[in-house]
Amino acid sequence: MFRSPQQYFHSGAVILLSYALRQSCPEHLRVVREMSVVLGKRGRPEPDVSVVRDRELKPRKYAEAGIPHFWRVEQEDTGRHPVVYVLELEPATRTYVVTGVHHGRLKVGGPFEIDIDLTEIDRM
């Protein structure tokens, strides 16, 4: 398949900027790719790369929408394996509460049975 030089440049620029921003981004911010930004009823541009405050914004919006389960995936301090924070919606306050922090293995019973060896990332 043939791709234009502009497509290669654009793809390379997005990868380069994403990587460089992740290296220097403060811990409370996240670099994300191709996520819509709601500016109004009909305005939803999708920047190639954005820096956002995901840790506070997404959980709050999902909780307000009544989504019962939310997982936050971070890197272990070693940078090798994921750590999964499992949260559930507390209906009275419509906020999330942490029900588990999983290192090495993610095994939960809800919203359905899940058993994932998080160290498998080494094989990806």
The total number of structural domains that make up the chain: 2
CA gap 103, 96 in Å, rounded: 20
Bridge partners, residue 57, by sequence: none
pTM of the predicted structure, to 2 decimals: 0.59
Alpha-carbon distance of 101 to 122, in angstroms, equals 20
Residue 58 phi, psi (nearest 5): -60, -50
> Same domain, yes or no, for 6 and 23?
yes
Query: Could you tell me the residue range of the domain that residue 93 belongs to?
Result: 54-124
pLDDT per residue as tens, the chain (124 positions): 566 766 776 787 788 878 888 888 887 778 888 877 776 778 777 878 877 777 777 788 888 888 899 888 888 877 778 899 999 999 999 999 999 999 999 999 988 889 999 998 888 6
41 and 59 share one domain: no
Question: Are residue 67 and residue 119 in the same domain, yes or no?
Answer: yes
The domain boundary residue, chosen from 16, 36, 52: 52
Residues 58 and 48 in one domain: no
Assess whether 19 and 62 both reside in one domain.
no
